[in-house]
Chains A and B, each alone.
Chain A
């Protein structure tokens, strides 16, 4: 069965600093991968996704992620964090053989220091 691990439950960064959120997955075939963001008490918004092709994916709000097959990772990055980026971030992996089913990681809560 596929699984997704987000090793960091909480991360605090200073405004203007760079950010990297880690995501590791376990999946037998080539996965498709997503990063979502959730503000408190809200639904999830898609930041970016990898389906095929270029392994460096650009998303909204200045985020990017890189798919590294050899490391089974899909880490999310942003060069300069803004206070409005404080939220919870979820990585998810998709399953080719069952429609569009997703398995989510446990999430990383990002706090931004002024």
Chain B
């Protein structure tokens, strides 16, 4: 079955630590996205990539970094510069054309120890 996988389901970060969230898709989509979800705030875009080896900052990129070395993979690193990382992180993918549906993974919940 085609879809998007995110791992781990839960992730714990210690003070000053960088952590990486995995996102893999087998939908053959060129575009991939990372969103942060906080209660009552909907989804906010962190980074997006419309093609391999290229990515752009979204609305809340500070304290995060990404790479896009393969079409299938778009890992997100939460760096120690992100002072409030506790949130639910969602990865999505789509054909990079207006009106195309974004398909979402199951999410990773990041908690700070």
Contact = CB atoms under 8 A, between A and B. Distances in A.
A48 to B, nearest CB: 10
Interface residues of B, number: 30
A45 interface: yes
A11 interface: no
A95 B98 contact: yes
A28 to B, nearest CB: 14
Interface residues of A, number: 27
A43 B106 CA distance: 4
Given A41-B109, A101-B48, A34 B41 contact: no
B106 A100 contact: no
Contact of A100 (B35, B96, B109): B96
A94 B42 contact: no
A27 interface: no
B40 A9 contact: yes
A94 B97 contact: no
A102 B42 contact: no
Contacts of B98: 32, 51, 94-96, 99-100
B99 A100 contact: yes
A43 B104 CA distance: 6
Given A90-B43, A104-B42, A107-B42, A99 B97 contact: yes
Contacts of A94: 98-99
A104 B41 CA distance: 9
Interface of B: 4, 6, 31, 35, 40-45, 48, 50, 88, 90, 92, 94-107, 109
